[in-house]
Structure formats: structure tokens, C-alpha cells
Chains A and B, each alone.
Chain A
Amino acid sequence: MAQATRKKPVSKTADAATSARTAAQSHFRTLRLGTPFQPRIDALARTQDWYNWAGYHAPHSLWDEELEYFAIRSQAALFDISPMTKYRIEGPDAEAFLDRVTLRDVTKLKPGRVHYTAWCDDEGFVLDDGTLFRLSPTRFRLCSQERHLPWLLDSAIGFDVTVEEETEAVAGLALQGPTSFAVLRDAGFAGVETLKIFDLAEFPHDGGIVTISRTGFTGDLGCELFVPADKALSLWDRLMSAGELRGIRAIGYTALNRARLEAGLIVANADFTTAEHAIRADRLRMPDEIGLGFMIDLEKGHFNGRRAILEARAKRKLRHVLVGLEIEGNIPAEHAIVYHKKHQEVGLVSAAMWSPMAKRNIAIASLTRPYGDTMVEDLWVEIYAMRELQYQKLMKRAKVVARPFIKLDRRTANPPADF
């Protein structure tokens, strides 16, 4: 035989890294993970109505999506946000790094503050939007819909900063609604009432720390709480028992999605397609095309996508615009086509509902400029309402309106309402 003998036999000794890796093999048996709050949510899930949120099984509803919505607006609603992607960004250059990656001026974000931001690829297309928490002068948490570790790590070259994905390690809850701060106070988070909108502070909990920020996705009074995963259940119990007399209820995504639409907030890969997922090149969007132009800070120096954004603005290459619509009648216009003069297609509704708070039929839509931008007259939406196996085709007038669709004083009132 002309052949050499075989080499590289299978190694018998596995080192520590290998055994940790091998120990993680069994994930294939559970395609949808439970979050750290799962035992509590399971106990409340009377509808058993689940969806897949980034590999976790998350509730669409728990007992009644209508009533869950009203819990947000009249009581206190508890929503599990643990599946949200979270990155811990830390180091002497963390501020400079994030200033370079994201659109807003991070040097203006003081420790103990949060801002809503977005970030782009080099072509100026939006990779995602999310919230940036400044936990200390040198430590941040970035929360987002999609995953961005390669982008963040590649962008970190040349900065003294570490980026770590901590989605599974950190559990999160949103507590939203008019009684939410009263619940926090009753739960013993002393001094929580001093938090102003977009403030954050750390509070002791169960021998550890919970980070509470006056933030949320509902346009209502509320906060978000982050704890290490092993403190999740005790935090849940603490809030639920304190909130019992204030109508606290756990809710699913359907209710939250209604509240966010009333607040005029957009959802990545629902209202726009993120750049790393857009298969079709014409689906890419610049911040100015999805209503995030306000974030762009041209004074602050270079950031990813700056050159492309400047060029697009200068050469008027921005083709789309995201707008709020108010539509006549009360039939939701979900995914309806938007027309100019009833016949020329100019856009698509990405989210729509009849708003119980605004008492109006509202929608978020992406239009092709100049429609929705300089031409806002004579816009219509064609609603296909399926009623007992027949489409009722409706052509309804749509008016471009400012977002948010509702503005609740209690969201920003200081001190927060105490009832």
C-alpha cells in the first residue's frame, strides 16, 4: 500500500473549556428556552398562547389580551423582557466606543441615565435600534432586538473596551402602568420616586442588586428592572405581592404591542427590516427613513454610517419615510397598502389598531417620498377586512399625524404618581 499511516487520533483528555462546551450539548432537546421567570409565567398562562421570541417561548397572552392591555393603562402590568438581547460594554474607552458605534452623542449620556438610540452599518443602513443604559462612567448595557456581537467586536478594534453578550445571565422585567411606582414603593425600593424619566438607579434586592430605570415601551408611567438570573423569581414575587392591591397583572406581548403603537414606538423587523437581515437590497433603511433622523448627531465626530448618511441627505437619496397615520373609521388597517388619490401605491402600513386611549384608528406606515414627506394630502389606505370568509374592501382616508398618538402626563410627571 502506498499510503502513510493515519495521524491525529481522537484525544482522550478533555480540558476544562472542552468539558464546559460538551456540557452545553443538550440544548438541542429544548428548542424554546424558558426565561428565568418561566415558573411564574407558566403558572399564570391560562391561554397557553406562546410565540418564539429570539429562541425563548414567550406569551402572546396569559389570560385575556384585551384586559391585559387595560392593566397597562389603568393598573400595573408586568412583562418579561428577558429574551431581549443584552450586551455589557465596559472599559476606559466604553464611552468613546459607543459614541463611534451609535447615532446619538454618548458623551451627553450621564452615568445613571438611559437613552433610546440606533446604530448603522458603514452604508448608513440601520442595524437595529435599542436602549443604552449608562451604569457607571465606564460601564454600559446595550439592549436590542437582534444580535450584533460581531459588529460590536469589530467596531471595538482600537478601543480599550470589552463587549460581552449577557442575555441569558441577566433577567429583565417591564413594570408599566399608572400604579407601577406605587407598587415599587410598596415593594420597598426606597427612593425610587426620585427617578425622573430615563433615570436609572441600583437598589438592593435579595442579597444582590436590581437596576431600575424609569423607561418602558408603553408611553405610560413605568420602569424596567434588571437582575442577575438567579434573583429573578424573588424579584417577581416581591413585585407581585406588593402590587396585589394595586391591580398588578402579568401580561403577554399582544397587549404590550398595542401600548407601544399608541406610544408611536417602532419595532425592528416589524416596522423596518434590519440591515443584517434584509435579503433584498431595497429593504434597507437609513435612520431618516424610519423616523430616527432625530438621533443623528453630526456635531459629535465620526460614527459608523456618518459619511453615507450625510451624502444621502445632501444628494436627496432618502427614498422612504416612516409616518404615523390616523385613518377614518375604526377598522384596523394592518398591512394595508397606502395610496395617493386612491390609485397610486405609495406605501405600506406596518402596524395598526383602533386606539382605546386616543379613540382613533391609528397606524404606522412606510411611504415612498415625497408622499408622507412633502406630499401628505389625499392619502388613502385599502383595508381588506375578512368577515365570515369575505373580504370587505374599504378605501379609507388617512391623515399623516405626529407620533406619539397619545401623550400621557403621568409618564413624565415628577414625582411619579402614587396610587
Chain B
Amino acid sequence: MKAWDAIIIGGGHNGLVNACYLQRAGLDVLVVEKNDWVGGAATSRELTPGFLYSNCSYVCSLFRPEIMRDLELPRFGLQVISYEGGAVFTRDGDYLANYRDHDAHRREFARFSKRDAEAYDRYSRDVTRQCRFIQPLLMRTAPDPTSFRPRDIGELLYLGKKFAGLSSEEMALTLRFWTMSISEFLDEYFETDVIKANFALSGIIGTALGPMSPGTAYVLLHHYMGEVDGSVGAWGYARGGMGAVTKALAASFKASGGTIRTGAEVDHVLVGRGKAKGVVLAGGEEIYGKLVVSNADVKRTFLKLVEEKELPDIFLRRVKNFKIRGSSGKVNIALDSLPEFPALPKDSPVYRGDMHFTDSMERMERAYDDWKAGRWSADPFLDMVIPTTLDPTMAPPGKHFMSCFVQYAPPKVNGREWTDADRDGFAESVIAQISEYSPGFRDRIVHMEVRTPREIEAEVGLTEGNIFQGELAFDQLLFNRPVPGYAQYRSPVGGLYMCGSSTHPGGGVMGAPGRNAAAEILRDLAKSTSHMSPAHDVI
């Protein structure tokens, strides 16, 4: 019976990044994916003829350029088109836009507050400083503070030195940034509600916290660390939808000799004498491997795919308590024409960017109140984009694909499972909100894919539909992600590794967890990592 050098459970972007790096190191790698397509939460599927949806993730910025380069993703078809900005629509019939041009941005803010318009530079300086501190950590394995191995001590020193390199004022800001609520953080710079709401959205996306919950300032930072082809902080659309990212990864993987089996759901990891030996598929087929890497989240991996008896008690308890709460859903809509927004001039670049309707911090927090009460938000927060305004490949000419990220959606409705009627009600809250700002919107809808946490968990495999495979709370970051003592992609089971977003540095279509896990695996195998670019310098 063949034994693969490595079996990767799950063909999401991190699983594929991991597989690519291992295959290119000379290993014989198999990716097993439960769906009939690869991509995980980075997929583009044609659910109605002529329309490609970015079914889950929908915009790209965080994906590490070093990985794109190493794995030759441009050659395998990946192109990211950066977009121009976006807007928050206000209830009085106006909007607040974000423009790429610095002075246009200031003038736009000045329409609402001259003071806030001029406060942006300081805000931008402080956020940039924090990003520069964290960014180099993304592509490094977090040190284990309890270990005395030279490598961990070295990494801790690196961290310490970086921190010591900050001025006392910056240190204070860093600590506050990592623990504060986004609402309080924004209060230090801005006075206008809609301007704060405009920035706050990056602090709550994918997180079961409200803008007034401590820890949300860091989530904002996480969304500011990306770039599109060197344009720092920019966001873009992958041409062909987010599936283009994993399509390019899969092509790169296959070109280097890797094997992918789709429609192959793993039932459990085969463990013998405390060591992973392979996987057993749902149909009972056994596949043997010298090591197993799980792209699934930490709960799915250790509560469903590994028998509890194989795991230490404390580890198991911490995995059970890992915060991976469902907080959002997704509504993908095929439209027979471009929706109109009377508030927006017809030639506005905002049509090509991200649009929002939550124009106050209180509305945002109230939306979260609904989540706490076990309901989806009556007045949800939407992050809405129409990628077909820049990417002609996703819909027939003149027709459009609209992606709506919707927050908040609880993992359970009033303590019970989601029903189809709930799902329809959830979709209706979204359509109703858009229709308020876009008359006739409903009539343009050709087809709709509605994904509550129930569908995301069932189809993608993300526990509770949490897009980050675990909240980006400070107690779940760096050497505490996913659980203390196991932040270096290894697990209590020998030969079983983790490479998903549950691990450092966390979620978003970034690829760093998959890459970092590959580096650790190759270290264990005493193999070269010379094909892996180190993180770009931050100078």
C-alpha cells in the first residue's frame, strides 16, 4: 500500500499553499478535499448559468506577495485588480466615500467635518506604525515563551527587540491597540459618527464582537496589513473571483507533481501509537501518509477528525474553549443589470468599491445586540461589492455579480438550529436594506445564494461559519494561537500538523499559516527551505 510523504486534509488556500511548498521540497503530497472542487473559503462557483460567485471570501489584499512569487501564481493565472475605494451610505440621502487620492479623501471627509478631514493623517500615521510592527511577524513562527530552545529564545528576543525599539509612546499605543475597542480607538481621532462607522467596519468583520467590545482595534489592524502588488493597504478583486487564488494554487501544485483528490471527505485521522499514519475517508478507504496536515480549523481537526483519547486533557479543553463563534453570513446575488443608488453620482468610483449602509457606531453595536440575543441583525452591517464592475469574467455583459458579506448572524437562532425559513428571513433583511438605498433592486435579482453559518459550516467546513477559523482576539494570537504550547503548527499527535487560519497569524486569504506550517514540517524533516522566500523587509 502506497504511503504518501504528506496528506493535506482540505484544499483551502492554506492547505494548497502548504501542499505546494511541501511538494516543491521534493515530497510526494496528496491533498484530499471533501467537496468536488478545491478552494475552501476561496472559491468561485457557477451556481446559475453565466455567473461566477465569490462564494465566501470576496476581496483580496492580505495574500502574501512572497507566496505569490514562490509559487508562481501569476504564471498560473492569478491577477488581482485593485479597486478605488468605497462608501458608507447615510440615512439622509448622502454618502461618505473613501477615495484613493489623499486630497480627495480629505475633501470628502471635510464635507462632514473639517476637523476629522485633517485628523486622518495622524490616524493613518499611527495605524501604519502598528502595521509595520506586526507585519514582519506574519511570516515567522511565533516563539514558544515557555520553551528554552535557542530558536524560541532567539524569536522571543526578536519580538522583544522590536518592542524595545518602539518609543515609550508607541509601546503604550501598541498595548492599547491590541486590547482596545475600535470605537474607543477611533474616538481618539474622530468626532463624526459616520466617519467612525466607516473605519470601524474593519474592526468587526468576521468577529463575534461589537465595535464597543475590547480587542476589536486589533481586528482593524489585521485588515490594514495587506497590499495589492505593492500598493500598501489596497484591496482588490481576484480576476475570476476568489476561486482564482486557489485555482492558481492548485495549478501550481499539480505542475510541480502534486495530487489532488476531490470528493474525498476525511472521516478521521488514522493514529497509531500516538502518531498520525494517514486518513480514513468517509467511505472507509484508508490512505496512508508519513505525516498528515490539517487545513481544517482546530475544532474540526481535534474534535471531529481525531479521537479524544489520543489527546491530552488540557489541550482538549482549550480546543473546546477556542473562540470560533459564528458571526456572519453571505448573500451572493446575480443581477440582470447594475443596481442604481440615487445617492451616488452615476460616474462615482464607489460603484467599483465596497459599499456599506451602517452609518453610525450605535447601529453597528445594535446589530451586535441582536447577535447576543441569538438573532440575526434586523438592521445588519453589510460589506457589499460588485466585482463585475472591474472584472468582466464573472457575469455576462451588462449583468453583474454582487457579493454581500452580512454581519451579524448567530451560529444558532434562539438556541436552535437554523431553518430554511430563518435563512430566507436573513436574506430578506439584506435585500430590504439594499432596497432602501437602491429602488427596484429586488427586480434585478436573477439568482441568489444565501449562506448562514449553517451553510458555511456544512459546505465549507468552517466551524460555526467563522471566517477566520477562530477569532482574532489578543488571547488567541501569536504564541496563543490556537492554544498555548501548540502555536508552532504541531499538535499533541506526532506527525499531525495544523496549517489553517486557526494558527498564527490567523485568517483572511493570506496564505501565511500554510507557508509557516510548511517551514516547520520541512524543519522536522531536515529538508531545505531554500525555495521559500523570507518575508519582505519592512524598512
Question: Are A276 and B166 in contact (CB-based, < 8 A)?
Answer: no
A103 to chain B, nearest CB (A): 20
Question: Are B128 and A279 in contact (CB-based, < 8 A)?
Answer: yes
Question: Are B129 and A279 in contact (CB-based, < 8 A)?
Answer: yes
Question: Are A26 and B345 in contact (CB-based, < 8 A)?
Answer: yes
Question: Are B104 and A27 in contact (CB-based, < 8 A)?
Answer: yes
Measured in the bound complex, the distance between the Cα atoms of B167 and A31 in whole Å is 36
In the complex, which of the residues B94, B104, B169, B375 contacts A3, with contact meaning CB atoms closer than 8 Å? B375
* B165 nearest CB neighbor, chain A only: A281
Provide the A1-23 mask, 1 if CB < 8 A to any CB of B, else 0. 11111111111101100100110
Provide the A139-160 mask, 1 if CB < 8 A to any CB of B, else 0. 0000000111110010000000
Question: Are A25 and B111 in contact (CB-based, < 8 A)?
Answer: yes
Provide the B157-188 mask, 1 if CB < 8 A to any CB of A, else 0. 00000000011011000000000000000000
Measured in the bound complex, the distance between the Cα atoms of B375 and A2 in whole Å is 8
Contacts of A55 in B (CB 8 A): 102-104, 106-107
* A150 nearest CB neighbor, chain B only: B119
* A7 nearest CB neighbor, chain B only: B379
Provide the B78-98 mask, 1 if CB < 8 A to any CB of A, else 0. 000000000000011111010
Contacts of B379 in A (CB 8 A): 6-8
Question: Are A147 and B121 in contact (CB-based, < 8 A)?
Answer: yes
A179 to chain B, nearest CB (A): 35
Question: Are A276 and B429 in contact (CB-based, < 8 A)?
Answer: no
Total residue contacts A-B, CB cutoff 8 A: 112
A328 part of interface (Cβ distance < 8 Å):
no
In the complex, which of the residues A2, A32, A277, A281 contacts B166, with contact meaning CB atoms closer than 8 Å? A281
B232 to chain A, nearest CB (A): 11
A186 part of interface (Cβ distance < 8 Å):
no
Q: Which of A51-94 contact B (CB under 8 A)?
A: 52, 54-55
Question: Are B376 and A54 in contact (CB-based, < 8 A)?
Answer: no
A262 to chain B, nearest CB (A): 30
Contacts of B422 in A (CB 8 A): 1-2
Question: Are B348 and A28 in contact (CB-based, < 8 A)?
Answer: yes
Contacts of A32 in B (CB 8 A): 103
B448 part of interface (Cβ distance < 8 Å):
no
Measured in the bound complex, the distance between the Cα atoms of B101 and A52 in whole Å is 11
A131 to chain B, nearest CB (A): 19
Q: Which of B415-454 contact A (CB under 8 A)?
A: 421-422, 425, 429, 432-433, 436-437
Measured in the bound complex, the distance between the Cα atoms of B94 and A24 in whole Å is 11
Contacts of A277 in B (CB 8 A): 121, 125
Question: Are A1 and B425 in contact (CB-based, < 8 A)?
Answer: yes
Interface centre among A22, A28, A147 (most CB of B within 10 A): A28
In the complex, which of the residues A1, A29, A148, A276 contacts B347, with contact meaning CB atoms closer than 8 Å? A29
* A26 nearest CB neighbor, chain B only: B345
B427 to chain A, nearest CB (A): 11
B115 part of interface (Cβ distance < 8 Å):
yes
Measured in the bound complex, the distance between the Cα atoms of B413 and A10 in whole Å is 28
Contacts of B129 in A (CB 8 A): 279, 281
In the complex, which of the residues B118, B348, B413 contacts A149, with contact meaning CB atoms closer than 8 Å? B118
B114 part of interface (Cβ distance < 8 Å):
yes
Measured in the bound complex, the distance between the Cα atoms of B120 and A149 in whole Å is 11
A202 part of interface (Cβ distance < 8 Å):
no
Measured in the bound complex, the distance between the Cα atoms of B432 and A1 in whole Å is 15
B452 to chain A, nearest CB (A): 13
Question: Are B425 and A2 in contact (CB-based, < 8 A)?
Answer: yes
A123 part of interface (Cβ distance < 8 Å):
yes
Given contact pairs A28-B104, A150-B119, A276-B121, A5 touches B378 in the complex (Cβ within 8 A): yes
Measured in the bound complex, the distance between the Cα atoms of B104 and A4 in whole Å is 39
Question: Are A10 and B437 in contact (CB-based, < 8 A)?
Answer: yes
Contacts of A28 in B (CB 8 A): 97, 99, 104, 108, 345, 348-349
B122 part of interface (Cβ distance < 8 Å):
yes
B320 part of interface (Cβ distance < 8 Å):
no
A278 part of interface (Cβ distance < 8 Å):
yes
Question: Are A149 and B114 in contact (CB-based, < 8 A)?
Answer: yes
Provide the B116-137 mask, 1 if CB < 8 A to any CB of A, else 0. 1111011001001100100000
A144 to chain B, nearest CB (A): 11
Contacts of A193 in B (CB 8 A): none
* B539 nearest CB neighbor, chain A only: A280
B414 part of interface (Cβ distance < 8 Å):
yes
B63 part of interface (Cβ distance < 8 Å):
no
Measured in the bound complex, the distance between the Cα atoms of B348 and A212 in whole Å is 42
Contacts of B170 in A (CB 8 A): 281
Question: Are B115 and A150 in contact (CB-based, < 8 A)?
Answer: yes
A165 part of interface (Cβ distance < 8 Å):
yes
Measured in the bound complex, the distance between the Cα atoms of B103 and A31 in whole Å is 7
Question: Are B121 and A6 in contact (CB-based, < 8 A)?
Answer: no
Contacts of B112 in A (CB 8 A): 21
Measured in the bound complex, the distance between the Cα atoms of B205 and A191 in whole Å is 65
B523 to chain A, nearest CB (A): 33
A132 to chain B, nearest CB (A): 18
Given contact pairs A276-B121, A278-B125, A281-B167, A3 touches B425 in the complex (Cβ within 8 A): yes
Contacts of B349 in A (CB 8 A): 28
Measured in the bound complex, the distance between the Cα atoms of B114 and A153 in whole Å is 11
Question: Are B91 and A10 in contact (CB-based, < 8 A)?
Answer: yes
Question: Are B108 and A150 in contact (CB-based, < 8 A)?
Answer: no
Provide the A345-373 mask, 1 if CB < 8 A to any CB of B, else 0. 00000000000000000000000000000
Contacts of B345 in A (CB 8 A): 25-26, 28
Contacts of A31 in B (CB 8 A): 101, 103-104
Question: Are A3 and B429 in contact (CB-based, < 8 A)?
Answer: yes
In the complex, which of the residues A1, A21, A149 contacts B421, with contact meaning CB atoms closer than 8 Å? A1
* A4 nearest CB neighbor, chain B only: B378
Interface centre among B107, B116, B349 (most CB of A within 10 A): B107
Provide the A315-326 mask, 1 if CB < 8 A to any CB of B, else 0. 000000000000
Question: Are A279 and B125 in contact (CB-based, < 8 A)?
Answer: yes
Contacts of B111 in A (CB 8 A): 21, 24-25
A10 to chain B, nearest CB (A): 5
Contacts of B103 in A (CB 8 A): 31-32, 52, 54-55
Question: Are A165 and B104 in contact (CB-based, < 8 A)?
Answer: no
A35 to chain B, nearest CB (A): 13
Q: Which of A106-154 contact B (CB under 8 A)?
A: 123, 146-150, 153
A135 to chain B, nearest CB (A): 21
Q: List 30 A-B contacts (CB under 8 A).
A: A1-B422, A3-B378, A3-B425, A6-B378, A6-B429, A7-B379, A8-B379, A11-B93, A14-B92, A15-B92, A18-B94, A24-B107, A28-B104, A28-B348, A28-B349, A29-B347, A31-B104, A52-B103, A54-B103, A55-B104, A55-B106, A147-B106, A165-B114, A277-B121, A277-B125, A279-B125, A279-B129, A279-B132, A281-B129, A281-B170
Complex A-B, nearest 5 residue pairs according to Cβ-Cβ distance, in ascending order: A55-B103, A149-B118, A147-B118, A1-B425, A150-B119
Task: Report which A residues bind B (CB closer than 8 A).
Answer: 1-12, 14-15, 18, 21-22, 24-29, 31-32, 52, 54-55, 123, 146-150, 153, 165, 276-279, 281
Task: Report which B residues bind A (CB closer than 8 A).
Answer: 91-95, 97, 99, 101-104, 106-108, 111-112, 114-119, 121-122, 125, 128-129, 132, 166-167, 169-170, 189, 345, 347-349, 363, 375-376, 378-379, 413-414, 421-422, 425, 429, 432-433, 436-437
